[in-house]
Structure 1
Amino acid sequence: MSKPFLYLFLFFNIFCATAQKQEKLFEQSFALLHSMIDNDNNFSFKKAVFSVENAYLDDKLDTLYINNQIRLLSTLCNSLIENRFLAYVENDKEKVNKWASVYQVMCDTIPLNINGKLYKYEPFGYDFNDVFGHQNRENLFVSKLLETHKGNCRSLPYLYKILCEELGTSAHLALAPNHIYIKHQNKKNGWYNTELTSGIFPIDAWIMASGFVHLDAITNGVYMKALNNKESIALLLIDLADNYNAKFPNNDGVFVLQCCELAIQNYPHFANALILKAETIKKQIKAETDNEKANKMFADLENQYKFIHKIGYRNMPEEMYLNWLVSLKTERNKFENKKLNTFNKN
């Protein structure tokens, strides 16, 4: 065997071994998410989120740094709970106090006195650079948010939910067009929204103001639904599938469909999962050489798109999404929940 051919052979073997290892990480993450769906006692949103990110990062996620950062943020939350007064008197105050502390850590500047020296804690902010992760998937990651204190409508609510669970309470993710936010329910105010991208508690009318929320989408739980644990894992399954597509753009669609099917099984009207499934099947149809099989797949695909439209999903252009997101600040008086005083501090 000539040296050039030998080098090429060795390089090919190394490339294949690396690809197999990378795919194995995605399979392991899928297995973990599946186990959390099968057994709620295994549920940990933090473990789920970082398993998805670690798969994309080729097992190079700095978990020691991540856990230390979350521990520091949780300690700050507990300090706020112990040392500040919350103007809320209902018997679910302990739970609400935890939500308030996480909200402050995420959205407020906090003065700190450490060994007699005054410091200023800076909150997390919104990063308008590559909002949808088109240039770099890592811009969507919680690990990136923890490192830079800049995030987006995915990483910010994900971190909020993680911190709530670290404090022993819950937080419900909710969806709007191209967007994720938080829904809580307390005894005084009922259900209310927490928007981490701007640190505001918007009324539902803000969601409707996007112009892309059909009434059927609300009725069918496509948007504005407080997601349970299994539905939250469904979101991560599609994150995992999207990351897999980014890592292996020429894949055969089998793993992606596996993620989609499990997500849809647990969140039947999850539009992103339904769309990704349809788009993946469309790619498979183009590669199919059996015309009869391709025609059957195409007929099924048409029915899938009809179903997506029937449940109320409407596509929102990215530029319009960004304008809608900014409107919450520019029209704050119009959309802010003025009755909500849960987090007022005296």
Structure 2
Amino acid sequence: MRKLLLLFLIVNCFVLKAQNNQYLYDEAFTTLSEMLEEKRPLNFKKAVFTVENAYLDGLLDTISLNDQINFLKKLSIKIRENSKLEYQEKDSLIVKKYASLFAVIKDSLFMVNQKGKEFIHLPFNYDFEDVFGHQDWSKMFVSKLLSSHIGNCHSIPYLYKIVAQEIGVTANLALAPNHIYIKHRSVKNGWYNTELTSGIFPIDAWIMASGYVHLDAIRNGVYMKALTEKESIALCLVDLAQGYQKAEIYDLDFVIKCANKALEYFPNYVNAMILKTEAKGKKIENILSSYNTDFRSVRKYPKTHAIFKEIEKELAIIHKLGYRQMPEEMYLDWLVSLKKEKQKYANKKINTFNTKTN
């Protein structure tokens, strides 16, 4: 009797947890959707932490996170007030904010607090272990980055954009194969790239050097495009769906709903398209499994055949947009190449971003 009661309690605990998680994910979807639909203000920081909170079962400490972000904001302001910038154009104040923010994220800074105590602010570095979050999805999170000071090409650009918002400037996210970076615009230099994994300003040729950027992908805004605020929120919707897949409450319709909403506001967002086709493929597998058969029978049943035709059509669109899948090991080699060949890929025009403390 005791064993049966214990089993009942365990099962009931899992059911309640799943229901609570589903509520958190539904609530997060509503929050992001209402931002996109302009029913509430666009707020990238809130969008990011809403996604992370859903995955962390509602336990994200946003008070502590906001305190840490506020510290980075104040640090950026202090650097700006005590530094000189070799840039004299009419947007020099904005560019100086970019420079101070870059220093906060990528430089070691020797500081003295109000009590006269010296301390070092360490840079946020790249974590080469489990860079895609296969083993630990929270490695993709800004909250994890803030607590550990190591992150990846997902969390570091996200944090940069969040702090930029706090100091009153725009930081546009941009996409490359398996990668996110920052694009800024200045009067003197036009659009330029800020690469936070290696801490340099690479020319566009570096993106092309990956070997997986088709010209059609650039023309169609798949890669190298400065994303709008709504397109950045669309990225968060796919993050939400991916985190949902990692959790053990797997409703394929929810994943597809997230992808569809993201595509409403970022129609050529390939990651959302791929997410959607993979979810549909899993749907086919589940239906065929219920018939005690496998994928070889996909055309045999009207329901699975119809879904399969949708997938074929969507994959053709993805290919036409210029998307080519980049193997993970090649991605890492490509990232490392930027550090090894800095002189080859560094934008020589961006030589005014070195701040000198007074």
Could you say whether these structures have the same fold, taking a TM-score greater than 0.5 normalized by the shorter chain as the test? yes
Q: Which amino acid aligns with 2:77?
A: N
Q: State the alpha-carbon separation in 2 of the partners of residues 339 and 3 from structure 1.
A: 74
SS of the residue corresponding to residue 96 of structure 1 reads: helix
**CA deviation vs aligned residue, 1:232-280 (integer Å, no higher than 9, x gap):** 011111110000000026x230110010000111111111100010010
> Structure 1, unaligned stretches of length 5 or more?
none
1:61 is matched with: 60
Match of 1:323 among 324, 329, 333: 333
SS of the residue corresponding to residue 42 of structure 1 reads: coil
Identity %: 53
Q: Which amino acid aligns with 1:56?
A: Y
1:11 offset after TM fit, Å? 2.8
Q: State the alpha-carbon separation in 2 of the partners of residues 78 and 252 from structure 1.
A: 45
Match of 1:343 among 333, 353, 358: 353
Matches within 5 A, 1:139-154: 139-154=139-154
1:10 offset after TM fit, Å? 3.0
| Distance change (3 Å), C-alpha of 1:40 and 1:98 | farther
Matches within 5 A, 1:21-40: 21-39=20-38
Q: State the alpha-carbon separation in 1 of the partners of residues 306 and 52 from structure 2.
A: 36
Q: State the alpha-carbon separation in 1 of the partners of residues 181 and 325 from structure 2.
A: 18
Q: State the alpha-carbon separation in 2 of the partners of residues 130 and 136 from structure 1.
A: 7
1:40 offset after TM fit, Å? 7.7
Match of 1:311 among 310, 313, 321: 321
Q: Which amino acid aligns with 1:309?
A: H
Residues 222, 323 of structure 2: 8 Å contact kept: yes
2:130 is matched with: 130
2:241 is matched with: 241
**CA deviation vs aligned residue, 1:266-322 (integer Å, no higher than 9, x gap):** 111111100010010011112225811111111111011111000000000000000
SS of the residue corresponding to residue 183 of structure 1 reads: strand
Q: State the alpha-carbon separation in 2 of the partners of residues 41 and 74 from structure 1.
A: 24
Residues 106, 123 of structure 1: 8 Å contact kept: yes
| Distance change (3 Å), C-alpha of 1:118 and 1:14 | closer
Residues 126, 150 of structure 2: 8 Å contact kept: yes
Q: State the alpha-carbon separation in 1 of the partners of residues 266 and 307 from structure 2.
A: 23
1:155 is matched with: 155
Q: Which amino acid aligns with 1:204?
A: D
Residues 52, 60 of structure 2: 8 Å contact kept: yes
> Structure 2, unaligned stretches of length 5 or more?
292-299
1:91 offset after TM fit, Å? 1.3
| Distance change (3 Å), C-alpha of 1:14 and 1:345 | closer
1:15 offset after TM fit, Å? 1.8
1:38 offset after TM fit, Å? 1.0
TM-score, reference length from structure 1? 0.96
Matches within 5 A, 1:103-118: 103-114=102-113, 115-118=115-118
TM-score, reference length from structure 2? 0.93
Q: State the alpha-carbon separation in 2 of the partners of residues 303 and 314 from structure 1.
A: 16
Q: Which amino acid aligns with 1:53?
A: E
